[in-house]
Structure 1
Amino acid sequence: MSDTAATPQTAAPDAAAPRRNGGDLAVETLHALGARTVFGIPGQHALGLFDALSRSPLEFVSNRVENNAAFAADGYARATGEVGVLFLSTGPGALTSLAGLQEAYATGVPLVVIASQIPLSGLGARRKGMLHQLDDQKASAQNVTKTQHTVHHASGIPSAIQDAWAEAVTVPQGPVWVEIPQDVLLGGVEVPRVQDALAVPYDHPPRAELVDESVRWLRDAERVAIVAGGGVRRSGEAAQESLREVAELLQAPVVCSPGGNTAFPWEHPLSLGGWVEDRHVTDLLEDAEVLLVVGSALGEVTSNYFTLEPRGRLIQIDAEPRVLETNHPTLGVRADAGQALAALVDALRADETARPAERPWHGRTSADVVAEVNAKVTARLDAQDLGRERRLMADIRAAVPTDMQTFWDMTIAAYWGWNCWDAQEGEFHSAQGAGGLGYGFPAAFGASVGLASAGRDARVLAVAGDGSAMYSIAELAAARQHDADVTWLIVDDGGYGILREYMEGTFGQATATELARPDFAALAESFGVPAETVEVEQVGEALARALAGSGPNVVVVRTLLRMWAPSHLEEAVPVDDAGLDPAETTRPEGPTA
């Protein structure tokens, strides 16, 4: 039904016209705030929401599993820069979404989650036989969302959703939970149609004295290094330009965390790429007199699994106050990464002594030190039996257009990607925030839907292992139904590959890691999705064909991948099991593999 038909009229009401209800207030508010797309699955207590969708310009994307719907809304938000919107039913539906919401919460992805609830009369009670009832549904979401709200009256729906939207886009961004009881959604309303809504994020600039103190530390240090995290990337191009200027003013080497991929150009002479898991890079960070960490918690992966022990001073800038000084003593600056970097640029420009032409790093230029570390990273990989892995990553990179967005599940290929994937003009997305399985394909699906609705090139790539693929295989039906331009690369090694490697390395054998799995290509085709299975040497050609196609498609490669060994476990240069000298193996430029 058109917007005009749903607009209140001054004439006598038409008895045949649908009655507006609380669900209408919810979808009208979302549309007024700028939402274009909603992900989810209908449910008994949420029927008022879905009835209202029939009178709304919002596009509904029908997922198959609530957890995957949360991943899809996450992918939509990451790819478009907009707020993802998720509709959930009560009880089992709401609970099933929580692992997906944990990833959005850990990674700072803005979502507005509208969950239904049992009728008002049952809230706070324990009625026997009330379908889907939880003792406290909102409490279930408390660990994986920024804030949680329950709406008790229809007139409060617009304000609650507007407030939730503002909270979702305020740094640190994240999902916000709003639950609305069944009878509030279904009840008729006299509230006028929502025509406009405004949700402005709260501002988080750095405090002036902390900027001044940071500049004093940076001015007096000869060796400064920078860790660029996801906060820089989420702050946009202006923040990334400020980071580049800070690095050049200080002649500071820069390494990007997995979440910070693209925050700093990899071809820059001060770039250490993304090799946060390499000991040579860790050594350089430890040797800095001042380590500037922007938009990163210095968590498990970025700290090289908590082996990073800075010997100098540490300045940490983050919008999330709970991460400051959590892992190391720091000068903690609670601020939006972009605003803090802009303030540092202004202060460093104003202080001539803080930006000498060159800062010697033990008598060498910073660029020379970076080049040496990058060469050591490459040499270490050359000394290991990794020809197959390096060729696969190089072939994927060569097949993917420079501006394409990619989504990576928790698989060995993604662990390689965290360190060696140069996103170039595209974007790299992975589930490293919470580390749950099943992220890659539904997130890529949501991203493709969002890009298409924005009139942008919608082709995206998802990468998963066979174990994680089984978590999201049902979404092939959703991708087919919505004709999403998603190419899914499934690396089938017969089990949970990274867990197999961890267990074999720790205990000498793996337990419960091997899996019976389907013929993925045949299964995809049963959904009406084109698919092919190829050898590892054929991945590049197969991906090029798939990425040139339309709608969803699948490429399966059966191969066993390995991780690189830590520096202290390096071995003599072997001939790899593909029969190649690692020094002759094709690899992306720079320190990547």
Structure 2
Amino acid sequence: MSTTPPPRTGGDLVVETLTALGAGTVFGLPGQHALGVFDALRRSPLAYVGLRVENNAGFAADAFARVTGTVAPLLVSTGPGALMTLAALQESAAASAPVLGIASQVPSAGLGGGRRGYLHELRDQQAAFRDIVKSVHVVRAPSQIPSAVAAAWESALAAPCGPVWVEIPQDVLLAPVTLPPVQARSVSSAAAPRPLAPRPELTAEAARLLDGAERPVILAGGGVVRAGAQDALRALAEELDAPVATTFGGKGAFPWEHPLSLRSWLEDRHTTDFLEDADVLLVAGSGLGELSSNYHTFRPRGRLVQIEADLGKLESNHPALGVHADARLALEALAAAVAPRPRGDSARAAAALLERVRARIDGQGLDLEQRVLRAVRDALPDDSPSFWDMTILAYWAWSAFDPRAGAMHSAQGAGGLGYGFPAALGAAAADRTRPVLAVSGDGGAMYSIAELATARQYDLPVTWLVVDDGGYGILREYMTDAFGGTTGTELARPDFAALAESFGVPARRTTPDRLREDLSAALAEPGPSVVVLPALLRMFAPTHLPAES
């Protein structure tokens, strides 16, 4: 009986390199041209989570990258399989999630712009990705694989983090290789992100401005969360006695119940006015984009200091003292540089602002919506992460949900539908010891129904809350407000509970009054579950325009 090991191939070099770089889990979906790397997975220690749609595999990898802070490999095939990941990679780019996409290509003979008639052939596949990912890495020979994958890994982790793309032709993945197995020490330099420290003179100038401010305020974005800068932010805020608001992507950057917390009511004009009135506003980890600036109505009257790892976002919307740096390193440096100031009226000002916001919301007759969101918060364990699709309840959560010790993630970076459930599966694959919550509307849920099979196959502890309002609820409200009627927003849909049961996933229908109890029970059960809430929720009325308009 022969004991000769099977010949190694280019596919083995891919999985050996990923293993050497520190990967433990990969996501994806096989296809004809990619079979060489999927065959190699059988001989590797990597755990594979296969989803049913490539875009959902991308969302799962995105969430895995967010919750672990490391690179999430995504393996897909050529042409249609590769192109199906574009929306997920756009979300990863917007959210700075380090996803490493590795796609096959047609055989080398079909490359170079010709049309040889190969299945899945594109004239220039990589061109579809260049405007989305941070970098594209093209392989043309087996010996190039370890260096290309390691370079892509390093690019994904370099500040600002983000998705990257590697392409390898089918024949290269299948080619036998005699190269020695890839060793961790040979690629270890790519596994650790390089620090992006602030320039000392900029730290000193920012500290001078903050020390001289009478009304300093901080706006914390998603960069603070991604950098693990929560402790540094809190230390700086308390040194300055400065109120802190968080963007929707920055939820969890600052304690919700802290006396200096302004929370996340960024679509409220009272909050916008408060931020505008700061004589020095420190913006950390945010580019002050559309959602973070109350739809570009924000007009600061004082000085702006902006800490941002993405060089292209510095001063992209407002003039500022721009500090190109990792948020944690910059906030730690600032906390050490500013002079402590005695406690003043900042906590009272923060409380007064929240009371004005609360009074405005309470005056809109939205008790049902607030009751539903409270039920979700009460049911979810404090340390469990949640993943929210683009749905009315998620819009409420952006402003009013306290993530506590867990983390709240949504697709508000790129704004595509279908994120919540597959993303929750990716997070559960990273940590099976605690339940994960996914929240979708019925419209968004239809993007992800196939992944009920994934949840069941891998027995992932995800509870999926589907709020069924019979259509695209947000678009229904937008069109009604703008045009007095709707088109294309009303949807036929299945019995979600019965459909989940057909996949072997326990499901229950609930009501707003029973939601807390039913959701708690589902989250406490092992494995996947579905809770369906038929409810017509409404948006709160935001205030985008200045008060005098």
2:541 pairs with 1:553: no
The alpha-carbon deviation at position 534 of structure 1 amounts to 1.5
The alpha-carbon deviation at position 274 of structure 1 amounts to 1.4
Amino acid at match of 2:257: E
2:371 pairs with 1:391: yes
**Structure 2 length-normalised TM:** 0.97
1:437-456 matched pairs, under 5 angstroms:
437-452=417-432
Could you say which residue in structure 2 is the equivalent of 1:355?
Answer: 340
- Alpha-carbon separation, structure 2, partners of 1:389 and 1:65: 32
| 1:43-64: CA deviation from partner (whole Å, max 9, x where unpaired) | 1110110110110011111110
The alpha-carbon deviation at position 112 of structure 1 amounts to 1.1
- Alpha-carbon separation, structure 1, partners of 2:318 and 2:223: 18
The alpha-carbon deviation at position 300 of structure 1 amounts to 1.1
Could you say which residue in structure 1 is the equivalent of 2:213?
Answer: 221
Choose from 454, 457, 460 the match for 2:436. Answer: 460
The alpha-carbon deviation at position 79 of structure 1 amounts to 2.1
Residue pair 2:224, 2:285 contacting (<8 A) in 1 also = yes
After the TM superposition, which of the residue ranges 259-268 and 433-442 deviates more from structure 2?
259-268
Residues 259 and 568 of structure 1: is their aligned pair in 2 closer, same or farther, counting only changes over 3 Å? closer
The alpha-carbon deviation at position 433 of structure 1 amounts to 0.6
- Alpha-carbon separation, structure 1, partners of 2:72 and 2:82: 16
Could you say which residue in structure 2 is the equivalent of 1:86?
Answer: 74
The alpha-carbon deviation at position 67 of structure 1 amounts to 0.1
1:71-470 matched pairs, under 5 angstroms:
71-196=59-184, 197-198=187-188, 199=190, 200-236=192-228, 239-348=229-338, 354-358=339-343, 365-452=345-432, 457-470=433-446
- Alpha-carbon separation, structure 2, partners of 1:40 and 1:302: 33
Could you say which residue in structure 2 is the equivalent of 1:488?
Answer: 464
Residue pair 1:407, 1:441 contacting (<8 A) in 2 also = yes
Amino acid at match of 2:351: A
Q: Which runs of structure 1 show a deviation greater than 6 angstroms over 4 or more consecutive aligned residues?
A: none
- Alpha-carbon separation, structure 2, partners of 1:397 and 1:241: 24
The alpha-carbon deviation at position 143 of structure 1 amounts to 2.0
Residue pair 1:437, 1:468 contacting (<8 A) in 2 also = yes
**Structure 1 length-normalised TM:** 0.90
The alpha-carbon deviation at position 536 of structure 1 amounts to 2.1
Residue pair 1:380, 1:567 contacting (<8 A) in 2 also = no
The alpha-carbon deviation at position 541 of structure 1 amounts to 1.1
Residue pair 1:449, 1:458 contacting (<8 A) in 2 also = no
The alpha-carbon deviation at position 567 of structure 1 amounts to 4.5
- SS of 2:223's equivalent in the other structure is helix
Amino acid at match of 1:536: P
- SS of 1:556's equivalent in the other structure is strand
Residue pair 2:115, 2:123 contacting (<8 A) in 1 also = no
Residue pair 1:41, 1:63 contacting (<8 A) in 2 also = yes
Could you say which residue in structure 2 is the equivalent of 1:45?
Answer: 33
Unaligned runs of 5+ in 2: none
After the TM superposition, which of the residue ranges 123-132 and 186-195 deviates more from structure 2?
123-132
Unaligned runs of 5+ in 1: 1-12, 349-353, 360-364, 570-593
1:18-33 matched pairs, under 5 angstroms:
18-33=6-21
- Alpha-carbon separation, structure 2, partners of 1:411 and 1:477: 23
- Alpha-carbon separation, structure 1, partners of 2:7 and 2:418: 40
Residue pair 1:411, 1:468 contacting (<8 A) in 2 also = yes
2:449 pairs with 1:473: yes
- Alpha-carbon separation, structure 2, partners of 1:142 and 1:459: 36
Residue pair 2:308, 2:325 contacting (<8 A) in 1 also = yes
Residue pair 2:219, 2:283 contacting (<8 A) in 1 also = yes
Could you say which residue in structure 2 is the equivalent of 1:574?
Answer: none
Amino acid at match of 2:13: L
Choose from 58, 73, 88 the match for 1:70. Answer: 58
- Alpha-carbon separation, structure 2, partners of 1:60 and 1:246: 42
The alpha-carbon deviation at position 331 of structure 1 amounts to 1.1
Amino acid at match of 1:308: F
After the TM superposition, which of the residue ranges 272-281 and 45-54 deviates more from structure 2?
272-281
The alpha-carbon deviation at position 14 of structure 1 amounts to 5.6
Q: Provide the aligned length of Structure 1 versus Structure 2.
A: 541
After the TM superposition, which of the residue ranges 117-126 and 261-270 deviates more from structure 2?
117-126
1:478-557 matched pairs, under 5 angstroms:
478-557=454-533
The alpha-carbon deviation at position 568 of structure 1 amounts to 8.5
Amino acid at match of 1:219: D
